[in-house]
Structure formats: C-alpha cells, structure tokens
Structure 1
Amino acid sequence: MTDYSEVIPNTKFMKKTFLSAIGLAALLAAAIVSCQQKPTAAAETGTVAAPTRVELAKRGEHLVNVLGCDDCHSTKTFGPGGPEIDTAHRLAGHLSGAPLPVADTGALKKGWVLFAPDLTAAVGPWGTSYSANLTSDETGIGNWSEAQFIKAIREGKLKGMDNSRPLLPPMPWFNYARLEDNDLKAIYYFLQSTKPVHNVVPPPQPPVSL
C-alpha cells in the first residue's frame, strides 16, 4: 500500500508559516510608517508642551471645586436638599448691604467663632471679616495680575501687595500656599474666566465694634 504521508502537505506547518509571514509584514509596515512620520516639536526638543490658558482654566475650575472655595466665597440659598450655591452670585463674596445677625458677644468671650448663615462672614477675636469677591469683575480680581494673585496666596497679603494688611481668618491661605505654581496659575485663569459680578465687599470690622 502506498504511503501518502510524504505527498500530503503538512497543513499545520503551512498555517504557522503563513501567519508568521503576515506578522512580519505588519511589523515592517509599521516600522516604515513610523520612520516616515515627522516628530513633533516637543519630541524634537525633548520638552513637554506647556498647558494652554484654556487647559489651565479647566484644571482651575476643578481645583476651585475640590478646595471648597464656594463654601465661603459664594452666597447660598436654601433648597429641598439644604444649602445650595446662589449661581447668580457665585464666588462674589459677601454681598454688599446684606444684613448680619447680631453677634452673641457672650459666646465670643467664651472663645466661640461665629459664622453668618451663608458662611460669607465670620466673627472672632480678629473682629468681623467678609469673604472676598473672586469673580472677574473689577470689584473682584478682574484687575489683578497673575503675580498679585500668587503673592496673595503665597504670603497672605491683601490684593497681593507688599504693604497691604494680612488676609484675615477664616481664609486658610497658609494651606493653599503649598499648592504648585501651575495650580495657582490654573485657579487664577479660571477665576478670570468667571462671570463678572459687581459687588463691593464691605471692609472688615475691628473687635471693638462688637
């Protein structure tokens, strides 16, 4: 009887060889395309492209949200779920002319610190302080430079000016001072992109006024 094993093709071997050839061809094609592609400017210089102003503002919005800036710098309304941000005056600080309850001086003498119902004003040993307008309006930080904003946060100086008074409690600037420069720039660019709200925040009151 004739042994046909010598003349019948080894299909398994042929299949493996065919697949290997396809794989090799694909690798060669990818290598050729890769060599033909022009490297980007960042790749040529070995540097990472700096974020754009739009990208910084987007990150700044995220930071403003997670750092709780609205807690003190936005007025609140009371809805079904409790306090809600007043979007019409978001980040505009304590509204000019908004009345405050009479401070309980007895509680203050015992060491308590008092807050307004919407958290935009606080009373303590330093007196009465009002949260600032952070919107892009000229009554907010619209006329501030980036350097001013960073100095205000880094050094706790009003309006980022050398001879200005310190930022008052409860502003935790000493914590925010640890943020990276790009994070502070991001917050600045986001605040500059906010809806301007014209609101002249009242000046702080000394403790003797209580």
Structure 2
Amino acid sequence: MKAKSYLFNVALIAFLPLLILSCKKEPTAAPEVVAESLEPSEEDVIAHGEYLVGIMGCHDCHSPKKMGERGPEMIPELMLSGFPSDTQMVKFDSELIKQGFPMFYPDLTGAAGPWGLSFAGNLTPHETGIGNWTEEQFKRALTQGKSKGLENGRMLLPPMPWQGFAGLKDEDVHAIYSYLKSINPVENVVPAPVSPENM
C-alpha cells in the first residue's frame, strides 16, 4: 500500500508542472481601442458660438430693438445687423458729453461721447456686414480692435469692448465666426462714425 502511495506521489510530482502548464491560459492581446473623434461637429461649433455671442453681450449693441413693456426688445429679423441705416441721426448737444459722459440711442445701437458718434456694425453674413470678411479679419477686429479687421485700419470706437476679448482662444473666435456666418443675412449699411467736431 505504501509503495502504491509512494508511486502516486512521485507521479503527481512529476506531472504537476505539466498539469499547471496545461491549465495556464495563453495571454490574450488587449482589445484594440478605437479612438473616437474628439472633433466637435459643425452644429456643436455653431451652438457654442451662439452661446458665446449671448453671454458676451453682442446683442446689447449690435441688435436693433423696439420698445416693449419691459424696455428695449430685440427685433428678431434684424438680429445682429447693427445700427439701422434708416434711423434718423440725432444731434447730440450736451455738456455732459464734453465732460466725458456717453449717451446712447434708445436701442443702444449708436453712442455719442468724447470720441464722437459711433455705430454698432452689421455682424450678419450679408456683404454689407461681415459677409466678405475672412476669419482672420474677424479675429483681428474682435481681439485687436481693428476696424473691418484690416491691419492698417483705424481702431474701433467705444463702446465696443474689444479689449475684453483680446484673450479669446482661437476655437472660441472660430465658433463665434461660424455662428455669425450661419445666421440670417441682413442688408444694412451702417453709417461711418462722426467726429466730435461734426456731432
């Protein structure tokens, strides 16, 4: 009996490594990870641009308004088309302006101050707006304050707060530009600024 038990133990010890090896699984390759595209869709870019235009207050000056129960209300079909060219020019004659105080047209699309009289531009994709602008021109206007985005152009006049947009990321500028290019084009030739002596 002892001999049988001894032989069994010897056989078990001899075959144990083979048994262990046969039970081991071959290592399997890690599943191939397919990288998903992290590029936002055009719709996402435009939606982000719309959001930025909203929170940056672009409508405050660039969208014509009418008076409603709660004050100025945006006119949807004229959204972001700037100072309406058919608006009567107001003669600002105030000692406050000479002291540095600005005054605004009722819909906020025009302003008077020590710099003269300035008008909010047409930001729609019509050729009277930014329809012919490149994205680089738009970026230059928005972040460097250059009129029409021209390198040698005059500086944008108050109340355009371009200094606050100087640090915008390129992807944000692209999103705003994409959104503005997607909106309804409105034909509206905004008048040129008026110098203080001609107000």
- TM-score bin, normalised by smaller chain: 0.7 to 0.9
The residue number in structure 1 matching 2:176 is 187
Q: Scaled by the length of structure 1, what TM-score is found? A: 0.76
Distance (Å, rounded) in 2 between the aligned partners of 1:111 and 1:152:
25
Which residue in the other structure is 1:117 paired with?
Answer: 106
Give structure 1 stretches of 5+ with no counterpart: 1-31, 43-47
C-alpha contact (below 8 Å) 2:98/2:113 kept by paired residues: no
The residue that corresponds to 1:73 in the other structure is 62
Residue number in structure 2 paired with 1:3:
none
Structure 2 counterparts to residues 90-169 of structure 1, below 5 A: 90-169=79-158
Q: Secondary structure at the match of 2:48?
A: helix
Cα distance between partner residues in 2 of 1:148 and 1:159: 7
Q: Which residue of structure 1 lines up, in the alignment, with residue 188 of structure 2?
A: 199
Residue identity in the other structure for 1:103: F
- What is the DSSP-based 3-state SS (H/G/I as helix, E as strand, rest coil) of the residue aligned with 1:140? coil
Q: 1:105 to 1:81 in 2, by over 3 A?
A: closer
Q: Residue 46 of structure 2 aligns to which amino acid in structure 1?
A: A
Q: Within 5 A, what are the aligned runs for 1:54-73?
A: 54-73=43-62
Which residue does 1:16 correspond to in 2? none
Residue 180 of structure 1 and its aligned partner are, at CA, apart by 1.2
Q: Tell me if structure 2 keeps the 8 A contact 1:127–1:206.
A: yes
Query: Which structure has the larger Rg over C-alpha atoms?
Result: 2
Q: Contact 1:100–1:116 at 8 Å: present in 2 too?
A: no
- Uncovered stretches (5+) of structure 2, i.e. residues with no partner: 1-27
Give the Cα separation in 2 of the matches to 1:111 and 1:154.
Answer: 25
Q: CA shift at 1:49, angstroms? A: 2.4
Q: Which amino acid aligns with 1:158?
A: S
Q: Matched residues in 1 for 2:46 and 2:141: separation?
A: 19
Q: Contact 2:65 / 2:72 at 8 angstroms: preserved in 1?
A: yes
Percentage of pairs with the same residue: 46
Q: What is the Cα deviation at residue 88 of structure 1?
A: 1.5
Q: RMSD of aligned C-alpha atoms?
A: 1.7
- For 1:164, what is the secondary structure of its paired residue? coil
In 2, distance between residues paired with 1:152 and 1:111? 25
Moved more, 63-72 or 143-152: 143-152
The aligned residue for residue 23 of structure 1 is: none
Which residue in 1 is equivalent to 2:73? 84
